[in-house]
Every structure is written in C-alpha cells, then in structure tokens.
Chain A
Amino acid sequence: MTGRIVIAGASMGGLRAAEQLRAAGWAGAITVVGDEPHMPYNRPPLSKEVLAGKAPFESLAFAPKAAAADVEWRLGTKVVAARLDERTVELDDGTALAYDGLVVATGMRPRRLRCEGPLAGRHTVRTLADAQGLREELTRPGARVVVVGGGFIGCEVAATAVGLGVTEVTVVDPLPLPMVGPLGELLARALLKRHEERGVHFALGTGVAGFEGEDRVTGVVLGDGTVLPADVVVESVGSIANTEWLDGNGLDLTDGVLTDELLRVGGLPEVVAVGDVARFPNARYDGVPRRVEHWSIPTDTAKHAAKALVAHLVGGKAELAPFAPLPTFWSDQHEFRLQSFGSPVLGKDDVRVLDGDPDDDVLVGYHHDGRLVGVVALGGQAAAMGAARYRAQLLKQPALTA
C-alpha cells in the first residue's frame, strides 16, 4: 500500500519511528516534521559532555539506518494543529499535510519558573542550543551558579559545573533530598553526601520566590527570604508535554497523550504516539498509564507503535502483545554512575541494600509486596554490572496486577 505517514517531532522518537515503520514493512512516504534545525541527536550528553565542551554536534547526531534514507525531513518547522477526523495536520508555515498514518512524537519542553525578575542569565537544558548557551556562561571566570531543581538534570549540571572548575554551585530544591522522587531516601542521602564532598552546595526544603537583578539575574530569592548570589541560573524543574497542537480532537491530553496498550491514540488505529509524550500502560506493572522520560523509551515505543500502525495500514494481521518494556535509566555525575533496572519508584516503601555500602559502591533493591520490582546501583562500573545481574530476574517477574 502507498500513502503517507506523518511523524510529528524530529528527535530520537521521530527518527526511531521512521526506521521502525520501514522495518515493519511500510513502503509508502514518510514525512518527519520538527522545529529544531538539526537532524535528530542524542540528548544525554547535553548536561554532561556538551557542557564540558567535549562533544561536537557530529558526535551527537544519530546515524539514520539505510532503510530510512528516503524519509522526508521537514526541519525548522512544526506541526501546529491537527484535524484527526479529516486526517490532516497543519504546519506553522500554513501548509496542510494529509496523512494515512500519524505518529505523535512531539516530546516535552522544560517547565519554567513563573517568578518575578529578569530572564537573562536563566537557562534550561533540553536542546543543543540550550546547552551551548549555558556552556558559554558557565565558563566565564568566577561565575556563581544556582541550579533550581535537584533531579537528574539538575544534579548532572551541578556535577559538570564543578568539574569545569566553577567554585560556587548551589542546588535548590523544595524537597529535603536530591533525586528523592525516583530513588527514595536511602540512595538520595548517599547522593547528597557525594555531591557535597565534591563541592556542590545545597539549599534544600525551600523553593524559589523570585529573582534579583535589573537586566540580568544577580541573585535567587528563596522561599525563606535568603538570597543566593547568582550570575547563572539553571532551571531544571520538570517538563511539559508538547500536545497543544492536538487540542480540539477530543483526546485525553492530561500529561502527554493517552494511549492504549499498543500505543494507539484516542481509539484511532491510524494514530500512534512514541517517546516521552506518550502516556501508556505498561503490562509489566499495574496497567496505570504513565509517561516515561527514560532514554530507551523512544526506541521501545517506536518498535511497538510502528508494528501496530503498519499492521493497520497494510491490512496485515499483527499478533502484538501488550507493550511491556523493562524500564532502565542511568545518570553520570562526577565520576560515579547511577544505573537502574525495573521500576524502583513502585517499590520505594521497601528499600534494602542488596550488596555493598551506601558510602561506597552500593546496590539497592526496591520491593512491592515483598517482591523485587527495581534495582539501582550507585558507584563505579562494578556496581552497575551488579545491577545488570538482576535484569533477567526483573524480566521474568509476572505482572504486578497478576
């Protein structure tokens, strides 16, 4: 069958979707639309190697598979509206594109703090342009840096800044510990200690009330009135799904786009979602739809969604099991690595050290109803390999709802 599949979004999810549509047998046209000027590139280095000046764009760009060589890339433009009942999307240059299949891959954008004060000197880290702009300011001699948000990006940026020789780096977070949301208290405490030992300061248990400065930021005002002097502020306070272009189609767009167990959107077999914008049920766990911002998710969702979409479009029979990826994430900070398999967040109430010591290399297990649902290692390569040894066991577990 011929026809056209439009992929809205040209980052990793868009690229993987295009490749997987070809792998699933789609021979028709594929058009990928994305607002950044670049071909898809790898984002994890943005808060690390790119900030440190160690990764030029050529080292970040994905090398598209040969089978996807005839895909049409419309870069520097974006989809601004969709009429799903007419199978048409509209681009910001006024073009209307008719489609037979649609892949929603528009991802997330950083949430911004809504506070009084100047915007200059305030940064987010989501795109290559963001990271390059931040690097320029971080590397000014004597820069004082305040990172708002003690999650993955915030902790990575703080570690990179210290590594660059920045002497004043403070992480602000309303929670009492960094990364306590995904990791729970035991590891979050160990992480805090490691950062402090390497020179990162923390202002925890308090939020940001505003920013000081005339033309650009000179200080961050905390909720308790304290002012942290700052030349550079990094806001890493979560993200917002890019779904506004889908408004008006009767979809559930609360926190991403809701999909079924085959990544289909709104009960429409010709519309699927991939990447971190997709809020999907994971059959491995409790069936509650969630968005997942792990690096592996664009690839995992693209494989499953492409099979479902192509099976519908070419009329073949898809024997597809419900989507059940094993989550995995990592984070490199200073010289240590966090490595996770499974879903620690579902077992945060029952956390046990499986091996090692929180002050050294440690491997931690997260349990739900006594059953292991996730492992996280903190430390060097041996710890990460220790976590990997539990991967097969986590894969074999029956679904949480079973």
Chain B
Amino acid sequence: MKVVVDMNKCQDHGQCVFAAPDVFQMDDNGRLAFVPDPDDTLREEVEEAADVCPLQAIRIED
C-alpha cells in the first residue's frame, strides 16, 4: 500500500494521527510526518485516516 499526502493541502489538523498512529505522526514542530509505504495490515486504519482528514489530503494508492 502506498500513502500519498498532498502537503500543499495539509493544514496539520492531526486527525489522521488519531486514526492511524502507526502511519501518521506530528513532529516536534507540529508538522505532519508519515510512513509512505505502510504494511497492508494497516489498510483499515489508513482508510479511516483518509476519511477523517478535513482537507481530504490523504490518498491511498494500491
């Protein structure tokens, strides 16, 4: 699974961090950091993260 985040859209709401903490984190400056190629077992939580992103900036590419 490939995760793509449009960093031009991202406004650091951090909702994805709650949904998929193994994939998305906020760094010490409050900016988003993420794992671009997470294990497929995490698909459900990454989908959840994409759903709850207020900017709809997260895309999953198979």
**Contacting residues, chain B, for A245 (C-beta < 8 A):** none
**Least CB distance, B14 to chain A, in whole angstroms:** 6
**Contacting residues, chain A, for B11 (C-beta < 8 A):** 332
**Contacting residues, chain B, for A65 (C-beta < 8 A):** 47
Contact yes or no, A299 B59, CB < 8 A: no
Q: How many angstroms from the CA of A194 to the CA of B42 in the assembled complex?
A: 42
Query: Does A336 sit within 8 A of B, measured CB to CB?
Result: no
**Least CB distance, A380 to chain B, in whole angstroms:** 8
Contact yes or no, A63 B56, CB < 8 A: yes
C-beta contact mask, B40-62 vs A, less than 8 Å → 1, else 0?
00000001000110111001000
**Contacting residues, chain A, for B15 (C-beta < 8 A):** 296, 328
Contact yes or no, B52 A59, CB < 8 A: no
**Least CB distance, A327 to chain B, in whole angstroms:** 13
Contact yes or no, A385 B30, CB < 8 A: yes
Query: Does B26 sit within 8 A of A, measured CB to CB?
Result: yes
**Least CB distance, A360 to chain B, in whole angstroms:** 16
Closest chain A residue, CB of each to CB of B31: A381
Which of B9, B13, B18 is A330 in contact with, Cβ under 8 Å? Answer: B13
Contact yes or no, A385 B59, CB < 8 A: no
Total cross-chain contacts (CB, 8 A): 34
Number of interface residues, chain B, beta carbon within 8 A: 17
Q: How many angstroms from the CA of A40 to the CA of B52 in the assembled complex?
A: 15
Q: How many angstroms from the CA of A44 to the CA of B56 in the assembled complex?
A: 11
Considering only residues 25-83 of chain A, those with a C-beta below 8 Å from chain B are: 42, 44, 59, 62-63, 65
**Contacting residues, chain B, for A384 (C-beta < 8 A):** 12-14, 30
Q: Bin the interface of chain A by size.
A: 20 to 34
Contact yes or no, A295 B54, CB < 8 A: yes
Q: How many angstroms from the CA of A295 to the CA of B54 in the assembled complex?
A: 8
Query: Does A291 sit within 8 A of B, measured CB to CB?
Result: no
**Contacting residues, chain B, for A44 (C-beta < 8 A):** 54
Q: How many angstroms from the CA of A76 to the CA of B59 in the assembled complex?
A: 28
Q: A299-B51, A388-B14 are contacts. A59–B30 as well, Cβ < 8 Å?
A: no
Contact yes or no, A63 B59, CB < 8 A: yes
**Contacting residues, chain B, for A330 (C-beta < 8 A):** 13, 54
**Least CB distance, B39 to chain A, in whole angstroms:** 20
Contact yes or no, A42 B51, CB < 8 A: no
Query: Does A382 sit within 8 A of B, measured CB to CB?
Result: yes
Query: Does A4 sit within 8 A of B, measured CB to CB?
Result: no
Contact yes or no, A42 B56, CB < 8 A: yes
Query: Does A16 sit within 8 A of B, measured CB to CB?
Result: yes
**Least CB distance, A143 to chain B, in whole angstroms:** 28
Which of A42, A59, A63, A385 is B14 in contact with, Cβ under 8 Å? Answer: A385
**Contacting residues, chain A, for B52 (C-beta < 8 A):** 296, 299
**Contacting residues, chain B, for A385 (C-beta < 8 A):** 14, 26, 30
Q: How many angstroms from the CA of A78 to the CA of B49 in the assembled complex?
A: 31
Contact yes or no, A381 B30, CB < 8 A: yes
Q: A382-B30, A384-B14 are contacts. A59–B51 as well, Cβ < 8 Å?
A: no
Q: How many angstroms from the CA of A384 to the CA of B13 in the assembled complex?
A: 8
Q: How many angstroms from the CA of A296 to the CA of B13 in the assembled complex?
A: 13
Query: Does A368 sit within 8 A of B, measured CB to CB?
Result: no
**Contacting residues, chain B, for A42 (C-beta < 8 A):** 54-56
**Least CB distance, B49 to chain A, in whole angstroms:** 12
Q: A16-B51, A382-B30 are contacts. A62–B18 as well, Cβ < 8 Å?
A: no
Q: How many angstroms from the CA of A344 to the CA of B9 in the assembled complex?
A: 28
Q: How many angstroms from the CA of A42 to the CA of B55 in the assembled complex?
A: 8
Closest chain B residue, CB of each to CB of A298: B51
**Contacting residues, chain A, for B13 (C-beta < 8 A):** 330, 339, 384
Q: How many angstroms from the CA of A328 to the CA of B26 in the assembled complex?
A: 18
**Least CB distance, A325 to chain B, in whole angstroms:** 11
Q: Would you mind naming 30 contact pairs between A and B with Cβ atoms under 8 Å apart?
A: A16-B51, A42-B55, A42-B56, A44-B54, A59-B9, A63-B56, A63-B59, A65-B47, A295-B54, A296-B15, A296-B52, A299-B51, A299-B52, A328-B15, A330-B13, A330-B54, A332-B11, A339-B13, A381-B30, A382-B30, A384-B12, A384-B13, A384-B14, A384-B30, A385-B14, A385-B26, A385-B30, A388-B14, A388-B17, A388-B18
Pairs of residues from A and B, 3 with the lowest C-beta to C-beta distance, nearest first:
A381-B30, A299-B51, A385-B30
